[in-house]
């Protein structure tokens, strides 16, 4: 039996995915950004590109797609975008960062035991 994920909430359907590009060369970052924008446009996936100048110790350029867990579970276009970037940018490392920290903090607050107050057992003299 396969599980079909629920459709994405309307607020996330048109939300842009953040695409962070780290490279030691600005010209390489620009080329990778154009490739990412083109791939996203072909998939009708809104994309917000951020380029970051990496230090000299960085060997390969890095492309990271950042998105909330709700998008990762409901929008297959994001995974298609990651695959296309890996194909069209073979010199870059491509990764997908799925943020689910909100789920963990919500669960911790719900599961926390209720606080109780200590009562003093001293008798009045």
pLDDT of residue 106: 56
What CA–CA distance (Å, rounded) separates 74 from 69? 9
What CA–CA distance (Å, rounded) separates 115 from 99? 30
pLDDT of residue 91: 92
pLDDT digits (tens, 9 = 90+) for 78-105: 999 999 999 999 999 999 999 877 666 7
pLDDT digits (tens, 9 = 90+) for 26-74: 999 999 999 999 999 999 999 999 999 877 776 889 999 999 888 888 8
Sign of the dihedral through C-alpha 21, 40, 14, 109: negative
Q: Does 123 have pLDDT greater than 70?
A: no
CATH class of 20-100: alpha beta
The H or E element that residue 18 is part of is: strand 17-23
Structure-token pair, residue 53 = 């100048």
pTM attached to this predicted model: 0.70
Domain ranges of the chain: 20-100
Contact, 61 vs 86, CB < 8 A?
no
Q: Does 5 have pLDDT greater than 50?
A: no
The H or E element that residue 86 is part of is: helix 76-88
pLDDT of residue 115: 53
């Amino acid at each position: 039996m396969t599980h079909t994920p629920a459709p994405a909430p309307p607020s996330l359907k048109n939300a842009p995915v953040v695409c962070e590009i780290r490279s030691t060369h600005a010209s390489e970052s620009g080329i990778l950004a154009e490739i990412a924008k083109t791939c996203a446009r072909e998939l009708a996936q809104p994309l917000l590109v951020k380029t970051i100048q990496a230090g000299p110790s960085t060997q390969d350029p890095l492309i990271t797609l950042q998105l909330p867990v709700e998008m990762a579970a409901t929008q297959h276009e994001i995974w298609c975008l990651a695959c296309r970037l890996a194909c069209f940018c073979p010199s870059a490392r491509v990764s997908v960062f799925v943020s689910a920290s909100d789920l963990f903090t919500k669960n911790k607050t719900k599961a926390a035991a209720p606080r109780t107050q200590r009562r003093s057992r001293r008798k009045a003299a």
